[in-house]
Amino acid sequence: MSHYFHTPTGEEHRREVGMRFWDTDWTFTTADGVFSADGLDLGTSVLLRESVPPAGATRLLDLGCGYGVLAVALATACPGAVVDAIDTNARALELCAANAAVHGVGDRVRPLAPADADPDARYDEIWSNPPIRIGKAALHELLLTWLPRLVPGGTARLVVGRNLGADSLQAWLNASGYRCEREASAKGFRVFSVRAESAP
């Protein structure tokens, strides 16, 4: 799982992958050393199938953007929104920028390393297939860094594998001052909506 933590040093071997969601056929450029380089991963597919783009959103966050599937999809579906696309993998950020440009939303998708994000930015929604395998402590730190950046009444949409601790994560979020509700279950994944119990 080294692609969660640093930029790969090997050859990129860029290629194009096709996928279909939201009644649209999409093509994305991927490369070695990024998450799910050979196509749309099952978790993200479930998240997209079970979620509706937020009408009227102006600021969105794709947390753990990879090569940009969620960021590009959200920017395309929400023409009034700027999407911050956050990842620790510089190769993924380069691919995200390239894919956003190809799909005509390069002016509204902002690929960023976590340290480069505006700490004062507040998001209408956060969408994420979070990196569960970084470990529980690191995952909790990640979520407690970004969930407080939701606007009052904002929602995070997370997809988590049932066998990778989805139910324990839901319990932890509920115990941490958030209201985490299961919106859907499919193909071994849970889709959660997460809202702060009170405005941060």
Q: What is the mean pLDDT of the chain?
A: 93
Assess whether pLDDT exceeds 90 at residue 8: no
Q: What is the pLDDT of residue 11?
A: 84
Average pLDDT over residues 152-163: 96
- Rounded CA gap, 28 and 132, in Å? 24
> Is residue 154 pLDDT above 70, yes or no?
yes
Question: Would you kindly state where each structural domain of the chain is located, as residue ranges?
Answer: 2-196
pLDDT for the residue numbered 95: 98
pLDDT greater than 80 at residue 7 = no
Residues 6+ apart with CB under 8 A from 198: 177
The pLDDT confidence band at residue 4, using thresholds 50, 70 and 90, is: very low
Torsion of CA 137, 10, 161, 193, to 10 degrees: 70
Distance CA 46, CA 97 (A): 24
Q: Find the distance separating the first CA and the last CA of the chain, reported in whole Å.
A: 33
- pLDDT tens across 84-101, in order? 999 999 999 999 999 999
pLDDT at 3 over 60: no
Least confident of 1-10, 37-46, 120-129, 130-139: 1-10
Q: pTM for the complete prediction?
A: 0.93
Interval 22-65: pLDDT, tens: 999 999 999 999 999 999 999 999 999 999 999 999 999 999 99
Cα–Cα distance for residue pair 12/90, rounded to 1 Å = 12
Predicted pLDDT at 200: 43
Average pLDDT value for residue range 149-176: 96
Q: Tell whether domain 2-196 is in CATH 2.40.50.100.
A: no
Sequence letter at residue 97: A
Residue that the structure tokens 């956003």 belong to: 100
pLDDT at 150: 97
Q: 8-12, 33-37, 64-68, 180-184: which range is least confident on average? A: 8-12
Kindly list the distances between the CA atom of residue 13 and the CA atoms of 6, 36, 158, 161, 180, in Å, as whole numbers in the listed order: 17, 14, 30, 29, 39
Q: Is the pLDDT of residue 169 over 60?
A: yes
The percent of residues above 70 in pLDDT, for the chain, comes to: 95
